[in-house]
């Protein structure tokens, strides 16, 4: 099974249960369609990182114990943003309005496609001595950082991305991540995550990373 399908199944809450033929076909259909419509665009910049965490050139303070722990040995970071564009959003809304099941699967596949696309981009273009990509909203990293980074990196100009009143991106299938550069040995963990006591992934013996 390809990575996009695997990840989409995880987002949909499937564990190890066997897929029915019709559901498998629906997944394949959504993967094919997302791949045809999505226009993955990526923009990133490398910055100096101070501790307590502050992205020097952008003058952005990051108040997060988990990120402080994971990027302890990093003097630089990369902030990366990627988006699938507005056509994917339109299709998600379209399917959600006339076929809810397909809408949900299509949404999960689009999220998986974005995640996998960003991973592959990182493997190809970013330095090896990098940490995982940590997105605002993950663990105790404030979601409000989306707005600060989007504004100060001028993501509207570079990727056509804007931000709504809840600090979420428009288009919806957009991701921003902070990546430490330096000596990174730590693995992603649930330490400090606000959802630790009520986490859907942990209840299914999975994690979100
Ligand atoms: S698996 Fe759950 S508790 Fe762990 S980091 Fe992800 S959301 Fe938080």
The fraction of the chain above a pLDDT of 90, given in percent, is 75
The two tokens of residue 80 are 């990366």
pLDDT of residue 116: 96
- Residue-wise pLDDT for 86-99, tens only, equals 999 999 999 999 89
Average pLDDT estimate for 163-176: 96
Question: pLDDT band at 60, cuts 50/70/90?
Answer: very high
pLDDT at 1 over 70: no
Question: 34-48, 178-192, 195-209: which has the highest mean pLDDT?
Answer: 34-48
Question: pLDDT band at 65, cuts 50/70/90?
Answer: confident
Rounded distance, CA 129 to CA 199, Å?
30
pTM as predicted: 0.90
Neighbours of 23 (CB within 10 A): 15
Give yes or no for residue 140 CB within 6 A of ligand 1.
no
> Considering only CA atoms, which residue is closest to atom 5 of ligand 1?
190
Give yes or no for residue 188 CB within 6 A of ligand 1.
no
Please tell me which residue, 189 or 82, carries the higher pLDDT value.
Answer: 82
pLDDT of residue 162: 95
pLDDT of residue 14: 84
pLDDT of residue 190: 77
Per the document, the length of the chain is 209
Rounded distance, CA 117 to CA 69, Å?
27
Ordered structural domains, the chain, with CATH: 3-203 (3.40.109.40)
Let me know the angle formed at the C-alpha of 116 by 112 and 121, rounded to the nearest 5 degrees.
Answer: 145
Give yes or no for residue 45 CB within 6 A of ligand 1.
no
pLDDT at 50 over 90: yes
- To test the ligand 1 pocket, which listed residue (192, 196, 209) has its Cβ within 8 A of the most ligand atoms? 196
Residues in contact with 146: Cβ distance below 8 Å, sequence separation at least 6, in sequence order: 136, 137, 163, 167, 168, 169, 176
pLDDT of residue 205: 79
Give yes or no for residue 196 CB within 6 A of ligand 1.
yes
Average pLDDT estimate for 98-118: 95
The two tokens of residue 87 are 């056509």
């Amino acid at each position: 099974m390809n990575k996009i399908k695997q990840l989409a199944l995880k987002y949909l809450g499937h564990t190890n249960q066997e897929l029915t033929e019709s559901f498998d076909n629906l997944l394949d259909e959504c993967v094919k369609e997302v791949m045809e419509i999505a226009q993955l665009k990526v923009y990133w910049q490398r910055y100096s990182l101070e501790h307590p965490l502050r992205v020097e050139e952008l003058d952005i303070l990051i108040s997060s114990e988990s990120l402080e722990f994971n990027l302890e040995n990093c003097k630089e970071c990369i902030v990366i943003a990627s988006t699938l564009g507005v056509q994917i959003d339109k299709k998600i809304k379209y399917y959600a309005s006339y076929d809810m099941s397909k809408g949900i699967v299509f949404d999960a596949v689009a999220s998986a496609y974005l995640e996998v696309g960003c991973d592959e981009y990182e493997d190809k273009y970013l330095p090896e001595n990098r940490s995982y990509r940590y997105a605002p909203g993950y663990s105790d990293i404030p979601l409000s950082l989306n707005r600060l980074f989007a504004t100060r990196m001028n993501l509207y100009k570079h990727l056509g991305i804007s931000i709504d009143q809840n600090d979420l991106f428009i288009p919806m299938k957009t991701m921003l991540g902070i990546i430490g550069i330096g000596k990174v040995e730590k693995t992603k963990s649930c330490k400090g995550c606000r959802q630790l006591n009520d986490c859907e992934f942990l209840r299914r013996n999975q994690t979100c990373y």
